[in-house]
Structure 1
Amino acid sequence: MYSSQLLKGTYQTVILKLLNENKRMYGYEISQRVKEESNGEIQLPEGSLYPILHKMTEEGFLKMEKVHIGRRVRRYYSITTTGSSEAVVRMEELNRFMTTMKLLMQPNTGTV
């Protein structure tokens, strides 16, 4: 598993990517998908997930729909048009960042 500090800046991008690929998802489903797709390397704890989902909803990237299932209320999140555009921008930015980090992490050969 990776440190929470390393992951903090990527959670929103990961959530946008998942919701861009899926019609709608509820919180637990999102956290489980992250865990599955990262082979257990990344876990998105509830204490981090729900504040992020609420913030992204306030920012207009997501919309939330309450669905009553028996006595329970499940909150489903889906991506908005604005969120889809933001997902593309953030995924491109994250890919550029990872490429830059790979360059920085290469061994220094001592030549200039």
Structure 2
Amino acid sequence: MSNSKLYKGSLNTIILKLLNEHDRMYGYEITQKVKAITKGELNITEGALYPALHKLEAEGLLDAEVVKADNRLRKYYKLTDTGSKETVNKLQELADYIKTMQTLINPNLV
């Protein structure tokens, strides 16, 4: 995606949705999953991802667990109950936003 500013406002929703679908994931896994799903169109950098993960954790939407895997520590994130509820809200909010933007861009299709 040529303009990464467009997705930055949706990063939290992307993270919440992936964790809702995959139970728990670590940071690099999230970046690779997004890259795979979007066929390389969307690349989330560590500089964008980790501050978002830490913010969601501080807000009580995520729990983190450090696990030793392949002789290294890996921090897995998963949704809290509050995070699961917020995921539903964020997805609806994003769907409404996309619908509004479609109306603005293609008013004849509505």
Aligned to 2:5: 5
Aligned to 2:28: 28
Unaligned runs of 5+ in 2: none
- Determine if the alignment matches structure 1 residue 43 to structure 2 residue 31: no
Offset of 1:71 from its aligned partner? 3.7
Offset of 1:106 from its aligned partner? 1.7
Aligned to 2:18: 18
Residues 78-105 of structure 1: CA distance to partner in whole angstroms, max 9, x if unpaired? 0111001000000001001001101100
Larger Rg: 1
Aligned to 2:101: 101
- Aligned residue pairs total 108
Offset of 1:9 from its aligned partner? 0.6
Residues 64-86 of structure 1: CA distance to partner in whole angstroms, max 9, x if unpaired? 00012254110000011100100
- Distance in 2 (CA, whole Å) between partners of 1:56 and 1:2 is 26
Percent identical residues: 51
Aligned to 1:92: 92
Aligned to 2:80: 80
Offset of 1:2 from its aligned partner? 3.8
Letter in 2 for 1:44: I
TM-score w.r.t. the length of structure 2 is 0.92
- Distance in 1 (CA, whole Å) between partners of 2:58 and 2:31 is 20
SS of residue matched to 2:75: strand
Unaligned runs of 5+ in 1: none
TM-score w.r.t. the length of structure 1 is 0.91
Letter in 2 for 1:43: N
Divergent runs of 4+, >3 A? none
